[in-house]
Structure 1
């Protein structure tokens, strides 16, 4: 009887967790969808580097949200799938989980150029160079993924791909997990250094600025700080597998769930707040789109 009550309790808790996660993800995806449509419908944004990069983060975050939600649901109810299908799902998760922080770093550099090198901003941040930047972002983001999966494919037996297991991000052995963390931490260390250096440079300009320039640099500083905070959350996300593997934390039933909410979902909701709802131009365009053209505020 006690076992049946325990099973009923676990089933109820799992459903509550699933409902909470689905509600949060639907809210985030709806916001991202509105912002993506707003970007596509506003031609002014198509020629501005920071808005193009912002659209990249929206698409990558939405993609990761959808795939991690699928993995979370499968894992919550202990549903197994074949490993070859699991790998197909996990590869883009790894790739686009890195695309967002690398893009955030590129957006920070764009703000640095706009504030500290305003005369060269049009040249350095043109539409063509932004497209090249996006290709470079995906190239850099794929390096850790190529290294990790090359080792995995070389070491995994052929029969492994036909096996059925619960699909999680931790399908590698311990040594590969340490390698994965080391590669990502090196990458994130470089990005943190870039963001800190940009912040220091912008702060120096902010102290010397006045009037409208003072407001612009102050807003740029706040944006860089928010980018740094989001990057910190992404970095902590890398430690989640080790936290969950710890004997003390692994005994706690809700650790994986809390980690998913705090370090997977939370960073994904910051991008639309930082560059969408906080940006006056984008907010005006969003209001115009949502109100079906009744809100006539000039986007530019």
Structure 2
């Protein structure tokens, strides 16, 4: 009887997880398709890839697509219990780790671009040129690689040769051999987000000063820039909470397995998927020029006049 109850409980667990995995596939597929359409719109109009804020927007779209794709693959591998060799997991981990930071660091760079455009308008063309955008993208990826480089340097120095040929389920915990490595990784991430938050708050305060002093059309443009900074801050907050999720999930796992599954599902939807879906809302829909271009390509040129603007 006890065995039957156990089997029944296991069946319920599998059905619930199946439903959730399917829902995640639908959401991830939808978000990736939307982002790919936005990237296509960006490429089709010359003005977009000669303007820094749109170039940085395209970087976030590409980063979000890659991040969602990799995390979804890891989710499926983990759910079905597929094991892969350490060297292959290492490649997946490097890309995932770097692009965990690319989006928030790019959001910070976009905030600084808005700060320059509103607070130092006379130097905007000089500081935010296409050449500067290329250098900035390289800097963003360089800064985003530092946490991964630190963690892997410790792993390479500590891991035995046989570890590279072992087959296990791929996860970041596979490269954390000592508990202090996890604490170091968390500390670096918290430091990054502290710096980003300081930049966001500074930009917000300076733009607020300009907004109060501005008038007419300038005031309207400044307040729009201020709202964009607030949305970037909200995205960064969700990304920051993502760093705390593993600690919360580990604590919940000690209490109840079903609660752990519920919490992990909620965290994935709220703090991994949601922040990566706000970029299309912030720039794809709120930006008039980009929205007109989207409408033009989505409706096969029926709104040619609006998109031409």
Matching residue of 2:295: 287
Distance 1:210 1:192 in 2: 28
Query: Displacement of 1:90 after TM fit?
Result: 1.2
Matched, 1:260 2:268: yes
Distance 2:255 2:296 in 1: 48
TM-score, L = length of structure 1:
0.97
* Superposed CA offset, 1:92-125 (max 9, x none): 0100110111110100000001111111111110
**What is the aligned counterpart of 1:155 among 158, 162, 166?**
158
**What is the aligned counterpart of 2:182 among 167, 177, 186?**
177
Query: Displacement of 1:248 after TM fit?
Result: 6.0
Higher relative contact order (CA 8 A, sep 6+): 1
Matched, 1:215 2:220: yes
Alpha carbons 1:32, 1:58 under 8 Å: kept: yes
Matching residue of 1:58: 61
Query: Displacement of 1:78 after TM fit?
Result: 2.4
Tell me which moved more, 240-249 or 210-219: 240-249
Root-mean-square deviation (CA, aligned residues, Å) is 1.3
Distance 2:106 2:125 in 1: 19
Matched, 1:243 2:241: no
Matched, 1:278 2:283: no
Distance 1:5 1:246 in 2: 26
Distance 2:80 2:227 in 1: 41
Matched, 1:111 2:94: no
Judging changes above 3 Å, is the alpha-carbon distance between structure 1 residues 250 and 151 closer, same or farther for their aligned structure 2 residues? Answer: farther
Alpha carbons 1:249, 1:255 under 8 Å: kept: no
Q: Secondary structure in 2 aligned to 1:238?
A: helix
Q: Secondary structure in 2 aligned to 1:293?
A: coil
Matching residue of 2:134: 131
Tell me which moved more, 51-60 or 9-18: 9-18
TM-score, L = length of structure 2:
0.94
Query: Displacement of 1:178 after TM fit?
Result: 0.6
Query: Displacement of 1:247 after TM fit?
Result: 5.0
* Superposed CA offset, 1:136-178 (max 9, x none): 1111111111111111111111111222222122221321111
Q: How many residues end up aligned between the 2 structures?
A: 300
Structure 2 unmatched ranges of 5 or more: none
**Structure 1 runs, 4 residues or longer, greater than 3 Å off:** 247-250
Alpha carbons 1:38, 1:285 under 8 Å: kept: yes
Tell me which moved more, 211-220 or 249-258: 249-258
